[in-house]
Amino acid sequence: MDLFAIQPRILMQLSQANEQGLTPFECAERSGVTCATITGLLDGLERDGLILRQPSLSDRCILSVHLTEKGHQLMSEMLPDHFCRTTGLMVQLTSEEKKTLIELQQKLQAGIPAMLEP
């Protein structure tokens, strides 16, 4: 698994999260990696000044992860290019093929927990 490919996914998830952010567990689950792996990835993103981990507003025993202003700026620079590239990639598919692709991705995503089991 290419961990560098997961970092943009984490940033995108955080950019779409509400003001409560996401827990490290939620980041791991959504990215399809273990909690140990997400800790290292979050360490790197925090070191780069892109995220901030802080106690949750609802439960101070739980950490919440948020984008920093630098993280928001990076995402605002990256997303338009990402969406243009994705659109260019998807333009070759018919509506039915797009629907099938989405259904297959949902099935694969549902199977991610099985990949994390020992």
> In the predicted model, is pLDDT for residue 2 greater than 90?
no
Domains of the chain: 3-116 (1.10.10.10)
Most confident listed range (5-9, 24-28, 53-57, 104-108):
24-28
- pTM for this entry: 0.71
Residues 6+ apart with CB under 8 A from 75: 11, 12, 15, 67
Q: What is the mean pLDDT of residues 98-106?
A: 90
**Predicted confidence band at 95 (pLDDT cuts at 50, 70, 90)?**
very high
Q: What is the mean pLDDT of residues 60-65?
A: 89
Contact present, 54 and 66 (Cβ < 8 Å)? yes
Rounded to whole angstroms, the Cα distance separating 35 from 63 reads 13
**Percent of the chain scoring above 70 in pLDDT:** 94
Average pLDDT, the chain: 87
The owner of tokens 């999260």 is 17
